[in-house]
Homo-oligomer: A and B are copies of this chain.
């Protein structure tokens, strides 16, 4: 973990354990550092799994491994390596993933495809199999660890550990969802990677879990951006151990289906915002809401165009109510928009309406809003019912320092 904590950091929450999940951490010594860097989660027999993975055309072997294993829908273990992303390492990288899976499977008496693997860190260097296998062996021998231990161990250049939890009543039983995530710092020559892991004691059939995770992802992880760059390794996995003993969630008619989905989405949203709050150089959390678009998809694209605009992000860093840059970002999105219907708000203050600056708007509340750590940009296109919200952070000298002021 980095020593300089983000000004937007929040404390690690109290999180209950999840029956059927046993966490352990160990030192694989992937880098010359004095910290744990290998996380093992043992999962009870019968655990189901779902996942969303990077759409990068150049994914890591871990992502390819998980994509194949997800088809089977069951899991007995998760191994997370920090310090080496194993991306762009060809067959040797693939061999390392297979070795880890085989080793954990032998230990647990399951199939290698029941073992999920994720890695984050330096790119282009094959994960050293000897260190990985020694690390996995050490992890199996290690005492049980807590959520915070695991959250710290999966981190790389994160400036604080990130976790979130929620409960839901399913089939008359209270189930727990607990999750950890890492991202989005990086140092030379590491890659930014978002790795998120969600655990629940609810019994959930894999297709239902996949659908619920995909739906939550669309409104949470897919709605955050730090710099518009997509990692080769982004991974979110959800594991359901079934230890709560409820009738497995299988379809919309299942008791508690809505409650579970809502709790899962709540946890994913918390995790997503924790990542943005640790955005490189971030000093402000920015929420961009687009309304009145022709469709939700169109609203999402326009919101991302605003959230990814360097000019908008630097304006917020400068606490400057530069709505012209928001107009620019709306215009360049390529989505339906009519200048003469466009309204723009900073916080609760409308600064432009019907394609014109609002003359004499009160600048005091706008200035006060922009001085805060959480900034809201609102856009109303005035065309339809489409709506989307995305989150990003500002673009500051800190981002440049982290990413340019060194040689690898």
Interface membership of A314, Cβ < 8 A: yes
Which residues from chain B contact A253 at a C-beta distance below 8 Å? none
Interface check A108, CB cutoff 8 A:
no
Interface size on A, residues (CB 8 A): 73
Question: If the complex has contacts A58-B337, A397-B397, are A228 and B318 also in contact, measured as CB distance less than 8 A?
Answer: no
Name the residue of chain B whose CB is nearest to the CB of A312: B229
- Residues in B with CB closer than 8 Å to A188 are 318, 320, 322
A66-74, A150-158, A399-407 - the one binding chain B = A399-407
Give the contacts of A150-197 with B (CB-CB under 8 A): 186, 188-189, 191-192
Interface residues of A in 358-375 (CB under 8 A from B): none
B318 pairs with A404, CB closer than 8 A? yes
A–B pairs, 27, beta carbons within 8 Å: A54-B331, A56-B331, A57-B333, A57-B334, A57-B338, A58-B331, A58-B339, A88-B355, A90-B339, A90-B340, A90-B354, A90-B356, A124-B357, A188-B322, A191-B328, A228-B308, A228-B309, A229-B311, A229-B328, A230-B328, A310-B395, A314-B399, A315-B404, A317-B400, A318-B405, A321-B408, A395-B404
Inter-chain pairs besides A57-B332, A318-B403, 5 sampled, C-beta below 8 Å: A58-B339, A89-B356, A90-B339, A314-B404, A322-B408
Q: CB-nearest residue of chain B relative to A230?
A: B332
